[in-house]
Amino acid sequence: MTHIDETRLYDTLTEGEDGAPPSEARNGLRHVASLSMTKLADGLINPKLVLTWLAQTLGAPAAITGLLVPIREAGALLPQLLLAGVVRRSKQRKWVWVAGSVGQGLAAAAMVVVALTLQGVAAGIALCVLLGLLALSRAAASVSYKDVLGKTVAKTRRGSITGTAGSVASAGVVVFALLLMSGLLQDVPPIAVAIGIAAALWLGAAALFSTLEEEDSAPETEAKHIDLSPLREDPQFRRFIACRGALTVTSLAPPYLVLLEQHEGALQKLGAMVLASALAAFVSSWVWGRLADRSSRKVLMLSGFAGAAAMALAVVAALLDWTDPVWVTPVLLFALLISYQGVRQGRSTYLVDMAPEEGRASYAALANTLIGGLLLLTGALGGGLAVIGPVAALAGFAMLSLIGGVIAIGLHEVETPDQDGKSA
């Protein structure tokens, strides 16, 4: 593909009007391809669905299986504050992302071996350990990615890059979900093959990302291992953390919504759950990405209010016994997952565009570490409310999502291009 073709394709994906520089177009397309591969790998190995099913099928105790999602969510966030120093001391930040992608690929490959050779407690423990390694590798990729994206893609195009990758990857996950629903993948060996494909995708993404054209950064040889200055000095950062913390409920609510379903139907099957998640990402990721390029603050507002509405409707439907029709809960679940995609897109774009160029790694790491802790607290709140019932948990989550949308109103707009036209 020629430079002209690459630029045209890139401008089409990002709706650029003035034409991107050829180097940015090359980098942007590599971002799209690499992210598409890793996001598809995420869908194939989904701990909330696929790994949980695998652990149960292998005979792992419920107490061990229940650790998978907390390990994945907290493990990918909490270490980032320490890893940020590694990024700031690196001239080429892309290599931290490459290492993280390789680590995820190797962990996934080892899971294939576990799936085919172990049973019971041993299988459960091995999956937890490997998922911990995968989460740590993901933390390295996450803490470095926003910095690399900010260096290689202009401010008003970043949301389109990540949104396009999300839509491309979700199309592949839809195919996977349909295969699951068909019954063709309802056994351990085919699932192991899917996890093996995920491993190959992570390794392939690492190889492609290593070709990114990244300018050297001035390494901070005296960089602190733990930098809390953004939290102390930036009131907008504190508001962003409060907003994002409240909106974590959009990622925790889906299991409680599924508990409202009383029918033994497709919704309770693994494939239907994967399909709902993939379709929501497919139809909304690019749209949320384009909106985020215009105003990621408004995306956080809209997705917070939309999530609150979806959960409130679920509460009303449950209280009035409106969940009997087979289509009600799937529609509510789909709406909730769309709001979750908006939260993901809005928080990522806002953080990259808000943070100063040399402070992106610190901002990203501190934000993700704090959110990791808030995620555990919110999850504990949901678990406590769930003792009363899923309706109580959803009602509490709806209030928090509404609060998150309200907090977002007070955030500054950060998508205004610099006067020199360069990204911040």
User: How many Cα neighbours within 13 Å face the side chain of 132?
Assistant: 7
Predicted pLDDT at 259: 63
Predicted pLDDT at 387: 72
Tokens (6 digits) for 213: 């054209």
Residue type present at position 171: A
> Region 168-188: what's the mean pLDDT?
83
Q: What is the CATH code of the structural domain delimited by 227-416?
A: 1.20.1250.20
pLDDT in tens, 311-342: 999 999 989 888 777 677 778 888 998 999 99
In this predicted structure, the answer to whether residue 127 has a pLDDT above a threshold of 90 is yes
Q: Which residue has the higher pLDDT, 114 or 213?
A: 114
Contacts for 97 with CB less than 8 Å, ≥ 6 apart: 140, 141, 144, 145, 148, 209
pLDDT in tens, 213-231: 888 777 766 555 566 888 8
pLDDT in tens, 381-418: 876 776 787 888 899 999 999 999 999 999 999 876 54
**8 A C-beta contact, residue 352 and residue 290:** no
Contacts for 152 with CB less than 8 Å, ≥ 6 apart: 24, 27, 28, 31, 212, 213, 214
CA distance 70 to 372: 10
Question: What value does the mean pLDDT of the chain take?
Answer: 83
| C-alpha distances in Å from residue 357, one per residue of 20, 116, 236 | 20, 46, 16
pLDDT in tens, 284-296: 877 888 888 889 9
Same fold? 1-218, 227-416: yes
Q: Which pLDDT band holds residue 346 (cuts at 50, 70, 90)?
A: very high
Please state the domain extents for the chain.
1-218, 227-416
CA distance 4 to 298: 34
Predicted pLDDT at 356: 85
Domain 1-218, CATH 1.20.1250.20 — does that match? yes
Q: Which of these, 212, 225, 77, lies nearest to 149 by C-alpha position?
A: 212
Q: Which pLDDT band holds residue 424 (cuts at 50, 70, 90)?
A: very low
